[in-house]
Chain A
Amino acid sequence: MRARVFVTLKASVFDPQGKTIADALHSLGYVGVDDVRQGKYFELDLKTTEAGQARALAAEVADRLLANPVIESYRVEID
């Protein structure tokens, strides 16, 4: 199975990269873009064929390594 892990900075954390990208978009005329938050995206190819196990494993590696809970939160999708 494949797990997709989206890691993003928590809402309370200022994202200087996202802010710079938002400014760049504004300078290109995309005034319809209010704000940008940059994050990380991981695709995990997993041996298991069971969705529950896949989700648990993806969450475990996200907790242990992929995300730092002090500044980041994550979301897992399985397919």
Chain B
Amino acid sequence: MKFAVVVFPGSNCDEDAYHAVHDVLGQDAEYIWHKDSSLNGADAVILPGGFAHGDYLRTGAMARFSPIMRVVDHFAAAGGPVLGICNGFQVLLEAGLLPGAMLRNQSLKFRCEQVHIRVEQTDTPFSAACRRGQVLRMPIAHGEGNYFAEPEVVAELEANRQIIFRYTDAAGGVTAAANPNGSKAAIAGLCNLARNVVGLMPHPERACESILGSADGRAIFESAMAVFRTGRAGGAAGSALQAVG
């Protein structure tokens, strides 16, 4: 399986993402510059963390105008799996590929720490190898991860099962103390209606080896690999997801 890791000027987790899928998980991977016009046959796209274009106006605000985003748009519209991590999630929100927006953390502080997230849904290409209710430990590192959407939009996200990861304590309980940034409904990650585009604030690519404190992040990428394998073995992506999830 081949992952495309999109590189914007200011991306700084691109090498971590590449390392995770290529060196740790043994998959093909290629850096794709934000001015490129092709994903070179990749089977999945990762928008990595960082500060794309400097994030001077708003996080992710400029990246959506990068030429590669038109290609990512088409790829996503055709059902291709797209994962936005941290700044990549912010880019997906600004680009309208996912609903909502990010505000400054409620504490106004940049939070860099290990958190726990609970897997809420497993029928996406980035959670299919997880168990529902499974608690994953991985780091966050952001100043603007306070997810906001109007109450009716959050209600839709709940009804459509688009909330994929929630901040919890180690036991999987949703508490105010376990929410590191003030996100509505403790949302750490969500997907689009078609379920192939997923964004999350925590960094699975920094949690793929036990020497880094946690290997729980591997499940996110192994999900994509499992769905890819099942999809290739026959059947549409939807049935593959059901089989795996």
Interface residues of A (CB under 8 A from B): 9, 12-14, 16-17, 20, 65-66, 68, 70-71
Contacts and interface: CB of A to CB of B under 8 A. Distances in A.
Interface of B: 57-58, 61-62, 93-94, 99-101, 103-108, 146, 148-150, 182
A17 B149 contact: no
Contacts of A9: 103
Given A14-B103, A16-B103, A68 B61 contact: yes
B148 A16 contact: no
B208 to A, nearest CB: 32
A65 B61 contact: yes
B94 A68 contact: yes
A71 B149 CA distance: 8
A17 B106 CA distance: 8
A71 B61 contact: no
Contact of B108 (A12, A20, A66, A68): A20
Given A68-B58, A70-B149, A71-B101, A16 B106 contact: yes
Nearest to B58: A68
B108 A70 contact: no
A63 to B, nearest CB: 13
A13 B93 CA distance: 16
Contacts of B99: 70
A65 B105 contact: no
B105 to A, nearest CB: 7
30 contacts: A12-B150, A13-B103, A13-B148, A14-B106, A14-B182, A16-B103, A16-B104, A16-B105, A16-B106, A16-B107, A16-B108, A16-B146, A16-B182, A17-B104, A17-B108, A20-B108, A65-B57, A65-B61, A65-B62, A66-B57, A68-B58, A68-B94, A68-B101, A70-B93, A70-B99, A70-B100, A70-B149, A71-B101, A71-B103, A71-B148
Given A68-B58, A70-B148, A70-B149, 9 more contacts: A12-B150, A14-B106, A14-B182, A16-B106, A16-B107, A16-B146, A17-B104, A68-B101, A70-B93
Nearest to A70: B101
Contacts of B146: 16
A13 B150 CA distance: 8
A66 B58 CA distance: 9
B90 to A, nearest CB: 11
Nearest to A13: B148
Contacts of A13: 103, 148
Which of B58, B100, B105: most chain A CB closer than 10 A?
A: B58
B41 to A, nearest CB: 32
Contacts of A20: 108
A35 to B, nearest CB: 16
Nearest to B106: A16
